[in-house]
Structure 1
Amino acid sequence: MISFARAASVAALTALSIAATAVPATAAPVPAGSAHHQRWSAAWSAPMMRPSAAPWFATWAGQGFDHQSVRQVVRLSGGGKAVRFRLSNLNGTTPLRLTGADVGRAADGAAVVPGTVRPLRFAHRESVVVPVGEEVLSDPVPLPVTARDRVALTLYFDGPTGPATYHQLSMTTTYRAAGDHRGDTGATAFTDAVRPGFGSWYYLSGVEVTGGRPAGKAVVAFGESTTDGFGATVDGDDRYPDRLAERLIAAGRPRPVLNAGIGSNKMLADSACAGDSALSRFERDVLDQPNVGTVIVSHGMNDILRTGDQICGVDRDDPPVTLQRLIDAHRTLIRAAHARGVRAVGATLMPFGGAPFWTAQTDRMRRDLNEWIRSAGEYDAVADFDRAIDPAGTGSIPDGYHFGDHLHPSPRGYQAMADSVDLDSLR
């Protein structure tokens, strides 16, 4: 039975995606956030996307995998005595057949710390089939972890997967090897990585933890490429959500910070290569995460800058974007969050003076939306990224704080964003 709060959130969203069901494909349903009566909290997540030809860098999503092992490294923002993993076939066209998987503490590169490797099971079975449009949840793995630990998940497929559900921009290297190398702690076999590039995650949509010191409710950073971390250091974990998690730990107020950003994502329109719209994916990527307390919404820039989906090779013009349409979309997200008891923090959009596509008209819409976020009083709090990165109000990101394109922050810029968040606003 659907709860009143959940029903209210569903009604608030104007364009809902079908929420993926976290159910092992070979087992009875597992209620979200529970297993063996334990309380689970999200420690890491990545929004899933349909496979496409990325216009910015090469990926393995289009071809998928065949008789190959895929090793993916993630840094957790919550700790516990056991972990479990969510694998997604949300955008697959055929059932995903996983031969087996294991997990261990990540060492350098593709290496794993010896003695830490644990097999992953699904309803006590080594292999699993993930139905089209669904997710599976692994059994708990007894692997004690703390916040900011890095873990390496190795998936092995003994047959062709077809195009892969994935997260396009990971800013983290993913490794591939021919054959079954689940048990390898060394990196020798994992010689294949997309280079040059910024990395992607495949099938892995979430990591959850249980046991140990109870963590505060998770903060979800929801947004576009400036949340996803374009311009951060590859394998450096210095996106703004990473730095915010570190601030919370340093302040003695540790809470998981989940990154739900998608590069080039739009608030109002789905994209062939940049994910479902913010309105479509908000419930799945934010509200359905276990133990969420706060969402930071940084969205709308791509709607302002792009009138269609031409970057994905799609000859499509979206309906004209107006300030009122963007405000109404923000209000929709706020209502949906509040209906689920989640605090909503609005983030202002950062300047882009000096970028080749800057116009006075688009900058005016950005400034007007920022003024509404600051002054309307509809968000529970405001993270003023605009003023944090451009305190002089020049309309441009200062040199040293952008990636080189006058649009995306550098690691120094991401630190400024994280430093500007009032930790009390995340209560």
Structure 2
Amino acid sequence: MTTKKTALALPLAAALLAVAGTTAATAPATAHGTPWNSAWGTAPQAPTHTDWYPNWSEEGFRDQSVRQVVRAGAEGSELRVRLTNAYGKTPLRLTGATVARSAGGPAVQPGSVRTLRFGGAGAATVPAGGTLASDPVALPVKAFEQLTVTLWFQGPTGPATFHNLALGTSYRADGDHLRDTAGDAYSAPGNQSWSWYHLAGIDVRGGGPGGARRAVVTFGDSLSDGFGATPGTDRRYPDALAERLAGQGRPRAVLNAGIGGNKVLNDSPCFGESALHCFRRDALGRPDTGTVIVLQGTNDIIQPDTPQDRCTAGPRATAQEIIAGHRQLIREAHQRGVRILGGTLPPYGDAQYWNPAAEAIRNEVNTWIRTSGSYDGVVDFDRAVADPEHPQKLNAELAFADRLHLNDAGYRAMAEAVDPGAL
């Protein structure tokens, strides 16, 4: 990742907790007991433009190939790719798609390229507001292996459903470059982005019992999304947690459903629908969700103290309102038979927008998470990353430059705060 790309994140970090007719083929994969296991997934967002984090979502694509690299979190002998048009106003017409093993950057390993088909056809249409899963593809996948999905849109797509903070590079090229192994066509200036587009998830089968409901979903804001981690290195806390579980002989897919800037209570045109509105889709709407770790509420507290614009505008939330939102998430998880853990909100006392009133709200929410017994378990992120002598501040060795987010070591500390037995 270049220095110039890294600099794109800095204005955002200084400002706020951020980056924030159905058939069997088109329905979201929500039924438990399927043969599929989740290997990778993200949370979709509506197209939006932000000066501090430029992306291609509003312009969409026309006669372009879009190449995206993700890390699988489970192994299998076959895979399928799930596409999303969740925020599309019109059907999304896909001309062709491939999947391959990554060879670094936009390159893919020769001999690994597989054509994706949908109902036997190379082209497909994703309904407005819908999703679409590919047919199974015989491409063996190992846990923590990098996979590359390439989508070709010959006609105009219109604005693209996307995920803003990928913390990895996606690529585009004019024309059909589905099977371009070297990736040279994707290297022109302006053809790189830090977001994912129309990509919802990758599932695998053949690597273990399907539908065992073993996947862990980390649901939250930019502290789950990973802002502050080194780009392109998969060092977010969900990544570190997956590696920790595998190292202990307890391998489980850990799926990142964080959205930078996201709130419990209020929607944002920049930072996604509120947790109350997207929890069922992003956390529970997967084939094998067994446990959800919730880390949400900081933006409800901090954003009213940031400069107000279309991204951050919203009423100030009280601790009791945030707690009521958490209770709703717990009810929905339990209705689906899913275990749900509550993560305490980390401190940010050295950040630009800290104030005593906001600190009081954070402490009240954290006390409730720790002591109410409402969650099935508690992950005390707050105490794991706080300065022991100044608990309203992050430990300086774990903090990102804005003292609001964490660095690689901080995200590892968050992962180590999770009790594997609680999952």
Fold conserved between structures, TM > 0.5: yes
2:224 paired residue among 224, 227, 231? 227
CA distance in 1, matches of 2:382, 2:334: 25
Describe the shift of the 1:122–1:312 C-alpha distance in structure 2 as closer, same or farther (beyond 3 A).
farther
1:50 paired residue among 18, 36, 46? 46
Shift of 1:31: 6.8
CA distance in 2, matches of 1:255, 1:134: 27
Aligned to 1:15: none
Compare 157-166 and 208-217 and name the one that shifted more: 208-217
Describe the shift of the 1:111–1:22 C-alpha distance in structure 2 as closer, same or farther (beyond 3 A).
farther
Aligned to 1:163: 159
Aligned to 2:205: 210
Aligned 8 A contact 2:152 2:176 in 1: yes
1:262 paired residue among 252, 256, 259? 259
Compare 309-318 and 149-158 and name the one that shifted more: 309-318
**Between the two proteins, what is the percent identity of the paired residues?**
47
CA distance in 2, matches of 1:182, 1:41: 26
Alpha-carbon displacement from aligned partner over 1:344-373 (angstroms, at most 9, x marks no partner): 110000000111100001011111111111
1:89 paired residue among 81, 85, 93? 85
Paired residues, what number?
400
Which runs of 5 or more residues in structure 1 are unaligned?
1-19
Shift of 1:178: 1.1
Aligned to 2:408: 411
1:236 paired residue among 228, 233, 237? 233
Aligned 8 A contact 1:23 1:137 in 2: no
CA distance in 2, matches of 1:278, 1:262: 10
Structure 2 residue 301 is the aligned partner of structure 1 residue 280: no
Structure 2 residue 337 is the aligned partner of structure 1 residue 344: no
Aligned to 1:289: 286
CA distance in 2, matches of 1:232, 1:68: 30
SS at match of 2:40: strand
Which runs of 5 or more residues in structure 2 are unaligned?
1-20
Aligned 8 A contact 1:74 1:150 in 2: yes
SS at match of 1:189: helix
CA distance in 1, matches of 2:136, 2:144: 19
Aligned 8 A contact 2:35 2:209 in 1: no
Q: What letter is aligned with 2:155?
A: G
SS at match of 1:230: coil
Describe the shift of the 1:194–1:398 C-alpha distance in structure 2 as closer, same or farther (beyond 3 A).
farther
Compare 331-340 and 257-266 and name the one that shifted more: 331-340
SS at match of 2:394: coil
Q: What letter is aligned with 2:181?
A: T
2:356 paired residue among 355, 360, 371? 360
CA distance in 2, matches of 1:354, 1:246: 30
Aligned to 1:9: none
Shift of 1:313: 2.6
SS at match of 2:369: helix
Describe the shift of the 1:192–1:57 C-alpha distance in structure 2 as closer, same or farther (beyond 3 A).
farther
Aligned to 1:129: 125
Aligned 8 A contact 1:33 1:290 in 2: yes
Compare 217-226 and 327-336 and name the one that shifted more: 327-336
Q: What letter is aligned with 2:297?
A: G
Aligned to 1:325: 321
CA distance in 1, matches of 2:312, 2:384: 37
Q: What letter is aligned with 2:89?
A: T
CA distance in 2, matches of 1:312, 1:418: 33
SS at match of 1:412: helix
Aligned 8 A contact 1:167 1:201 in 2: yes
Shift of 1:400: 2.9
Describe the shift of the 1:370–1:134 C-alpha distance in structure 2 as closer, same or farther (beyond 3 A).
same
Give the 5 Å matches for 1:14-93: 23-24=24-25, 32=30, 39-93=35-89
CA RMSD of aligned residues (A): 2.1
Describe the shift of the 1:337–1:121 C-alpha distance in structure 2 as closer, same or farther (beyond 3 A).
same
Shift of 1:221: 0.2
Describe the shift of the 1:293–1:65 C-alpha distance in structure 2 as closer, same or farther (beyond 3 A).
same
Aligned to 1:108: 104
Aligned to 1:386: 382
Aligned 8 A contact 2:387 2:393 in 1: no
Shift of 1:240: 0.1
Shift of 1:397: 1.1
CA distance in 2, matches of 1:344, 1:288: 14
SS at match of 2:228: coil
Structure 2 residue 420 is the aligned partner of structure 1 residue 423: yes
SS at match of 1:370: helix
CA distance in 1, matches of 2:386, 2:313: 34
Structure 2 residue 195 is the aligned partner of structure 1 residue 200: yes
SS at match of 2:216: strand
CA distance in 2, matches of 1:388, 1:227: 15
Aligned 8 A contact 2:387 2:395 in 1: no
Shift of 1:24: 3.5
Describe the shift of the 1:329–1:67 C-alpha distance in structure 2 as closer, same or farther (beyond 3 A).
same
Shift of 1:95: 1.3
Shift of 1:147: 1.1
CA distance in 1, matches of 2:150, 2:218: 26
SS at match of 2:48: coil
CA distance in 1, matches of 2:86, 2:305: 24
Describe the shift of the 1:228–1:106 C-alpha distance in structure 2 as closer, same or farther (beyond 3 A).
same
Shift of 1:384: 0.5
Shift of 1:316: 4.5
Structure 2 residue 141 is the aligned partner of structure 1 residue 182: no
Describe the shift of the 1:152–1:356 C-alpha distance in structure 2 as closer, same or farther (beyond 3 A).
same
Aligned 8 A contact 2:38 2:253 in 1: yes
SS at match of 1:102: strand
Alpha-carbon displacement from aligned partner over 1:233-275 (angstroms, at most 9, x marks no partner): 1110000000000011001010110000000001000111100
SS at match of 1:219: strand
CA distance in 2, matches of 1:326, 1:379: 14
